[in-house]
Structure 1
Amino acid sequence: MYDMETRRSTLALLAQGRSLSSVSRRTGVSRAAIRAWRTRVEPVPRMARDCPRGPADTAAYAYLLGLYLGDGCISAHSRGGHYLRIACADAWPGLIQLCRAAIVAVRPGVSVAVVRKQGCVMVSGYDRHWPCLFPQHGPGRKHDRAIVLAGWQREIVGAHPWELVRGLVHSDGCRTVNWTTRTVGGVTRRYEYPRYFFTNKSADILRLFTDTLDGLGVAWTRANAKNISVARRASVALMDARIGPKH
């Protein structure tokens, strides 16, 4: 962990008008860390100190982390504690149940409420530890601030990478079937092929998704600034075996 003097001196170089890359090369500090310091210069408290119990189920936590980064938020209660809220579309009742189960698995004993909104439901659970379980919580929208995993979160994702990918796809992704036509021997035939898309405005969350796919051997392409596509047959088969369509 970098000390405060290193953090402040690095930001001072940035304030001189130097580029992020040049400051990173000069100090040896990663670009991701410098971006995070621009939002919060103070170190994020260690999990062991702020939340000694941690997530009860690390696989469920990796999945819930994906849901939170895609469609979740944390809000303070007026009398203390916080609500974790995950937006789930009405069209996917199975996803609503998976979300409820993940919250209970991560924090046993938490009561989970389902509040219906127009076109979706908010699955929410009250607990005093959500901010330390999800240190990415902060003011404003996620794509307007740095999203960097804490060391203990990286360890959990490293142990359960498919669960993180599943949570991200279930929140901000989809499985679609595209089609095309080919003329063979004078006969026009229709061919269908499935693919996965993941859509997010945050460059950091997109990078987390693609870095995890790289580690799993899943080939992907960038369709545009906020869309990642998985279309190769072998990679789609891997995704189907571990994720599949929403239900």
Structure 2
Amino acid sequence: MYWPDETRRQALAACQHGQSNASVARSLGVPKGTVAWWLHQDRAARDALPGLRRSTCHRCDGDDLDEAAYAYLLGLYLGDGHIVRPRQHRVHNLTIACSDTWPGLIDAAEAAMRAVLPYNAVCRVQARGCTSVKVYSRHLPCLFPQHGPGKKHDRPILLADWQRQVTHTHNWCLIRGLFHSDGSRTHNWAQRTTDGEQRRHEYIRYEFTNRSADIRDIYTGTLDRLGVEWRTRSRRDGVHTVSVARRASVALMDEHVGAKY
């Protein structure tokens, strides 16, 4: 049966304003399947059909990569991220666990995921005191070749040549991602005796703690390239912390990283 163009336009306009296919069909006296077909044709004309936009991959297809966003997301992944493929899903998902104490970091993680994988589904999953930011893509193992079985600190974590090129161009983005995952900016003080008088000395310290020696090496190697002085402190339980406390180096970290937010 032929339907006037005006009826079709009215149906599309109503659907775009949030009405269901069924309600639009009832109001216009049109079969529900016809309304669905009109929507399909309209989306196809706008190149907006689900699944038509392929998942982008810098490695497989040579697609453009937002390198600054990728370097930041890589830092988040190396710190608090993990990639899994549950049995019920067809593709992998990357999850970045973020404390609700830092809502700005949650927004930054989501923005980075959308910039690196603009055609993929990104969502937030709320838990008690924590928000997991997730992105789904079959290309995650391509973009993050560090993915593998087991915990990251129990296996080698080495950057691929193309990752090193990206991170060497965007050193601060990588440092920011690593710090936002496993770092803290603390206000410290110490007492010193000068000329027989005790004086209080206050200073800022940036600390980064990760069990993986390889990930700590990535962090400290990047600090070296940026001219940031650091030291490592080790605890009895084997946990190592990279500390930045020199005034000039703290100033660099404040300028390019800053406190969590």
Pick the TM interval, shorter chain: 0.7 to 0.9
Aligned partner of residue 91 in structure 1, secondary structure: coil
Q: Distance in 2 between matches of 1:183 and 1:223?
A: 24
Q: What is the match of residue 30 of structure 2?
A: none
1:241 correspondence with 2:255: yes
Instruction: Give 1:60 shift.
Output: 0.3
| Residue identity opposite 1:61 in structure 2 | Y
Q: Distance in 1 between matches of 2:64 and 2:117?
A: 6
Which of 73, 81, 84 is equivalent to 1:72? 81
Aligned partner of residue 223 in structure 1, secondary structure: strand
TM-score (norm 1): 0.76
1:229 correspondence with 2:238: no
CA deviation digits over 1:33-66, x for unaligned, max 9?
xxxxxxxxxxxxxx86x52245630000000000
Q: What is the match of residue 210 of structure 2?
A: 200
Distance 1:54 1:193, change over 3 A: farther
Q: Distance in 2 between matches of 1:161 and 1:215?
A: 8
* Aligned positions of 1:61-210 closer than 5 A: 61-77=70-86, 78-182=88-192, 188-210=198-220
Distance 1:108 1:151, change over 3 A: same
Which of 48, 54, 59 is equivalent to 2:68? 59
Q: Distance in 2 between matches of 1:116 and 1:205?
A: 27
Runs of 4+ displaced beyond 3 Å? 182-189
> After alignment, is 180-189 or 233-242 more displaced?
180-189
TM-score (norm 2): 0.72
Question: Rg bigger for which structure?
Answer: 2
Distance 1:54 1:190, change over 3 A: farther
Aligned-residue Cα RMSD (Å) equals 1.7
| Residue identity opposite 1:72 in structure 2 | G
Instruction: Give 1:203 shift.
Output: 0.5
Aligned partner of residue 101 in structure 2, secondary structure: coil
Identical counterparts, % of pairs: 56
Q: Distance in 2 between matches of 1:73 and 1:53?
A: 24
Q: Distance in 1 between matches of 2:64 and 2:122?
A: 16
Could you tell me which runs of 5 or more consecutive residues in structure 2 were left unpaired when the two chains were aligned: 1-56
Could you tell me which runs of 5 or more consecutive residues in structure 1 were left unpaired when the two chains were aligned: 1-46
Aligned partner of residue 177 in structure 2, secondary structure: helix
| Residue identity opposite 1:73 in structure 2 | H
Q: How many residues align?
A: 200
Which of 214, 217, 233 is equivalent to 2:224? 214
Contact 1:55 / 1:61 at 8 angstroms: preserved in 2?
A: no
Q: Distance in 2 between matches of 1:61 and 1:55?
A: 11
Q: Distance in 2 between matches of 1:189 and 1:108?
A: 54
| Residue identity opposite 1:128 in structure 2 | R
